[in-house]
Amino acid sequence: MEIKTIEDGWGCVPKLTDVTQELDTLSSYVYEIKNCVRQSDLSSMVEDMKEIMDNVKYHLDMIDTTKEYKTVDCSNCDEMVLYGDEECPDCGRDSFTQ
């Protein structure tokens, strides 16, 4: 299934943002491990990392990989006012995805 979007990046897949937010929480542990800094206790660090990885897997499993995203540049959407379920004739965007 092809999804048309004005997004250039992966912002059109919100679950990917959830994944990156989870991975960002690992940064302090990664810093500790790579830079020989021992601030966290081992048990808490391992349990937190397991939970984070479970959350990452959950969010990744929620992503429909059968969708193919195509970026469209549509000047028509900027010029017309969309109401209700009306779709842009150029890109197919409806009033709810603008």
**What's the number of domains the chain is made of?**
1
Would residue 19 count as lying in a domain? yes
Would residue 91 count as lying in a domain? no
d(CA 83, CA 81): 7
d(CA 20, CA 36): 24
Would residue 90 count as lying in a domain? no
Would residue 94 count as lying in a domain? no
Would residue 87 count as lying in a domain? no
Domain that holds residue 23: 2-79
Helices (H), 10-41: 14-24, 27-34
Residue 86: which residues within 8 A CB-CB, separation 6 or more?
A: 94, 95
pTM of the model: 0.66
Would residue 92 count as lying in a domain? no
**Helix, strand, or coil here: 16?**
helix
Rounded average pLDDT over 68-87: 64
Dump pLDDT digits (tens) for 25-69: 899 899 999 998 888 999 999 999 999 999 999 999 999 888 888
Would residue 50 count as lying in a domain? yes
